Chains A and B, each alone.
Chain A
Amino acid sequence: MSTATGVRESGPRAPGSGERLAVLTEGLTKSYGDRQAVTRLDLAVPAGRTFGFLGPNGAGKSTTIGMLCTLLRPTGGRALVAGYDVRREPHEVRRRIGLVFQESTLDGDLTAMETLRFHADLFGIPRRRALDAIMDMLELVELVERRHTPVRTFSGGMRRRLEIARGLLHTPRVLFLDEPTTGLDPQTRAAIWAYLGRLREERDVTVFLTTHQLEEAEHCDRIAIMDEGALVVDGTPAALKAVVGSDVVTLRTADDTAAVRAVAEHLGLEATTGEDGIRVRVADGAAWVPRLCAALPVTVHSVTVTPPTLDDVFLHYTGRTIREADSEATVFPGRPIPRR
């Protein structure tokens, strides 16, 4: 789309503004045999921002994170994290990144304190400084009182918080979070986002997270949408939504096919069918509702008007909602699902 809106289509791009970059990938590719999990990915993540990497299950997000964190070897292209090449200087990259995995990677037999102390030892933080840093982090994630209980007894939210604390302990430049809120209840989810928000304010750290929940991506400074292993579009959430521009009117009708035809014939609007009925994209959707209902020869069960969301952005660029893409991923097992 136009550069004025701040949205960049994938593909060749103009030279950047000279902003510091936390992550840069050029033609990054990972294939397993002849199956491509990530295809020629070009990403530029400015330092100090929260970057949301978004797409349905199996889009290649986790594979990308795996490559950026030096856990998977790219099969093509290159990636720089905090200024270091993931393939040639993995040790330097590891020193500068924190990582919170999709699933819990804590040892239930250890206490929170031991978990963090071990981590500090692995990263070579001197003893005295480590203790201060550990207490700081425990305070940030509000686990000071529980520091001597085994992690086994922690709730899902507490574990996730401890993992974030661990990921930040060695003051990384980039914190990677793979689906940080999956499997958490809404309340904990909100709390995690509050922590991440505070983090951005208090520390100069770039947060790179993946999610397939679009509401969550709204918290990010920038987002990139990925589908089927390739970058679809990236920009600020506002800019991306501005591209879509219009509201979506969703109608549940007795006969969707007839409804689509009628909308096209009588109103000259293009409608699409989805699992929740037919969708019509118009500016000022509420004003269109009476005209739409009048134009339809079939019974209308319900009408919903939604202002543009990131889901619409996804729909706009890929032709399906992220939920549909997710269910496809589970219906067709042949689709590339990143192996770790």
Chain B
Amino acid sequence: MTDLRTSALPQDADADEAAEATKAAEATRAAEAADSGARRGRVAADLRAVRVLWQREVIRFARNRLRIAMSVIMPMMFLLVFGTGLNAAVPAEQAAFRDFRAFFFPGVLLMAVQAPAMAAGASIVWDRQAGFLRQLLVAPVSRPPLLTGICLGGATAGLGYAVPVLCLGGLVGVPYRPELLLVLLELALIAFAFTSLGVLVAVCAGRPETFQIVMGLCMMPLLFLSGAVFPASGLPGWLGTVVRVNPLTYAVDALRRTLPGQGVSGLGGRAAGPEWWGWTPPVVAEIGCVAVLAVAALSVATYRFSRGE
């Protein structure tokens, strides 16, 4: 069979037709027999591709010491410098505002996962620039596992960066309780969503400059209007709408409600989560929103990515 395929193409068109028919019949039979095996092989190949891409992202994050240092120092600066500063600026009699740092803690966790997840998106843009992406495209694997692997890698790296920040929780009065494991799971999902969004922008952007501009323009307002930095519940009308459609709102609120300790949800009850027409969605629904967003972003990205030229 293989011999026929790889040997020269038949030269004589007339004699060929009959041979073609028998060959086709043979091929169908062989194909049917091989089909289930081939499908299993396909799945195995796809899983391997996911693992390869995941490994590569993780290696890249683990090797970049400067980035590791930056991503640990930045959230700490926010928490200790910015948070302490604001704490000090609030007059003593406004006791509810005294635990601003605890309030800010979920936001800092979000920032910690966000940076490496975004970097995974950036890596796609650079890979395209450097040609590495093209090398992946000629490998005998289908397209979806390639992006999935990258997203999982970014999520893992994000989680890795969030762990040291989570360990600092004690400084702002977050007790070390088993709930923190749930928080870790949530962070993993959030990191995955961030990476999917970054990957989506990367696949659409094409050039590194475009990617950076789009990311810069989106991330800042989304973060501010998520209730991560200041309570978002008291915002005027149209900003309130932005807060409600902002996926980060749900991520922050889910983290805040899962984190153990009183201080986190504090600010005298001002840090209330989003409401849908008077109904407060449970944490599970909030997490569901983030998951749906992640899957949607990844699907669109995969679709765009697979189209090819």
Nearest opposing residue in chain B for A105, CB measure: B131
- What's the nearest-Cβ distance from chain A to residue B194, in Å? 21
A290 within 8 A of B: no
B278 within 8 A of A: no
A80 within 8 A of B: yes
CB–CB A107/B136 < 8 A? no
Q: A15-B11, A101-B131 are in contact. Are A20 and B45 (CB under 8 A)?
A: no
- Contact code string B127-155 (vs A, CB < 8 Å = 1, else 0): 10011101111111100000000000000
B81 within 8 A of A: no
4 A-B pairs with the lowest CB-CB distances in the bound complex, closest first: A105-B131, A83-B5, A122-B139, A94-B140
- Contact code string A83-119 (vs B, CB < 8 Å = 1, else 0): 1100000010011010101011111011000100011
Contacts of A69 in B (CB 8 A): 138
CB–CB B138/A70 < 8 A? yes
Scoring A73, A103, A118 by chain B CB atoms within 10 A of each residue's CB, the highest score goes to: A118
CB–CB B131/A122 < 8 A? no
Which one, B5, B9, B140, contacts A24 given CB within 8 A?
B9
Residue pairs across A and B with Cβ atoms less than 8 A apart, 18 shown, are A18-B11, A20-B7, A21-B8, A80-B9, A84-B5, A94-B140, A97-B138, A101-B135, A103-B131, A104-B130, A105-B134, A109-B64, A110-B59, A118-B52, A118-B56, A122-B136, A124-B44, A340-B134
What is the interface size of chain B, counting residues whose CB is below 8 A from a CB of the partner? 34
Bound: A104/B129 CA distance, A: 10
- What's the nearest-Cβ distance from chain A to residue B220, in Å? 28
- What's the nearest-Cβ distance from chain A to residue B94, in Å? 49
Q: Tally inter-chain residue pairs, CB-CB below 8 A.
A: 89
Bound: A335/B127 CA distance, A: 28
Nearest opposing residue in chain A for B127, CB measure: A107
Q: Which of A136-166 contact B (CB under 8 A)?
A: 150, 166
B308 within 8 A of A: yes
Which one, A70, A73, A105, A173, contacts B135 given CB within 8 A?
A105
A82 within 8 A of B: yes
CB–CB A73/B138 < 8 A? no
Bound: A267/B93 CA distance, A: 110
CB–CB B132/A109 < 8 A? no
A9 within 8 A of B: no
B39 within 8 A of A: no
Nearest opposing residue in chain A for B308, CB measure: A73
- Contact code string B30-53 (vs A, CB < 8 Å = 1, else 0): 000000000001001100110110
Contacts of B17 in A (CB 8 A): none
Contacts of B51 in A (CB 8 A): 121
Nearest opposing residue in chain A for B133, CB measure: A105
- What's the nearest-Cβ distance from chain B to residue A234, in Å? 17
- What's the nearest-Cβ distance from chain B to residue A131, in Å? 16
- Contact code string A16-36 (vs B, CB < 8 Å = 1, else 0): 101111001000000000000
CB–CB B59/A105 < 8 A? no
Nearest opposing residue in chain B for A89, CB measure: B5
- What's the nearest-Cβ distance from chain B to residue A153, in Å? 13
CB–CB A123/B140 < 8 A? yes
Bound: A69/B139 CA distance, A: 10
Bound: A107/B48 CA distance, A: 19
Contacts of A103 in B (CB 8 A): 130-131
A71 within 8 A of B: yes
A72 within 8 A of B: yes
Q: A69-B138, A91-B140, A118-B56 are in contact. Are A105 and B11 (CB under 8 A)?
A: no
Q: A73-B308, A121-B51, A122-B49 are in contact. Are A83 and B6 (CB under 8 A)?
A: yes
Bound: A97/B135 CA distance, A: 12
Q: A70-B138, A105-B130, A110-B56 are in contact. Are A20 and B48 (CB under 8 A)?
A: no
CB–CB A18/B8 < 8 A? yes
CB–CB B48/A124 < 8 A? yes
CB–CB B5/A101 < 8 A? no
CB–CB B140/A95 < 8 A? yes
B309 within 8 A of A: yes
CB–CB A109/B135 < 8 A? no
CB–CB A123/B9 < 8 A? no
- Contact code string A31-72 (vs B, CB < 8 Å = 1, else 0): 000000000000000010000000000000000000001111
Bound: A84/B5 CA distance, A: 7
Q: A72-B309, A99-B138, A110-B56 are in contact. Are A82 and B131 (CB under 8 A)?
A: no
Contacts of B64 in A (CB 8 A): 109
Scoring B55, B64, B138 by chain A CB atoms within 10 A of each residue's CB, the highest score goes to: B138
Bound: A121/B45 CA distance, A: 8
Which one, A21, A72, A106, A109, contacts B63 given CB within 8 A?
A109
- Contact code string A224-247 (vs B, CB < 8 Å = 1, else 0): 000000000000000000000000
Bound: A38/B266 CA distance, A: 67
CB–CB A106/B59 < 8 A? no
B23 within 8 A of A: no
B207 within 8 A of A: no
Nearest opposing residue in chain B for A102, CB measure: B131
Q: Which of B56-104 contact A (CB under 8 A)?
A: 56, 59-60, 63-64
- What's the nearest-Cβ distance from chain A to residue B64, in Å? 8
- What's the nearest-Cβ distance from chain B to residue A318, in Å? 28
Nearest opposing residue in chain A for B45, CB measure: A124
Contacts of A104 in B (CB 8 A): 130-131
Contacts of B134 in A (CB 8 A): 71, 101, 105, 340
- What's the nearest-Cβ distance from chain A to residue B202, in Å? 16
A sample of 16 more A-B contacts (CB under 8 A), given A71-B134, A121-B49, is A20-B7, A69-B138, A71-B138, A95-B140, A99-B138, A103-B131, A105-B131, A107-B56, A114-B59, A118-B55, A122-B49, A122-B136, A122-B139, A123-B140, A124-B41, A166-B135
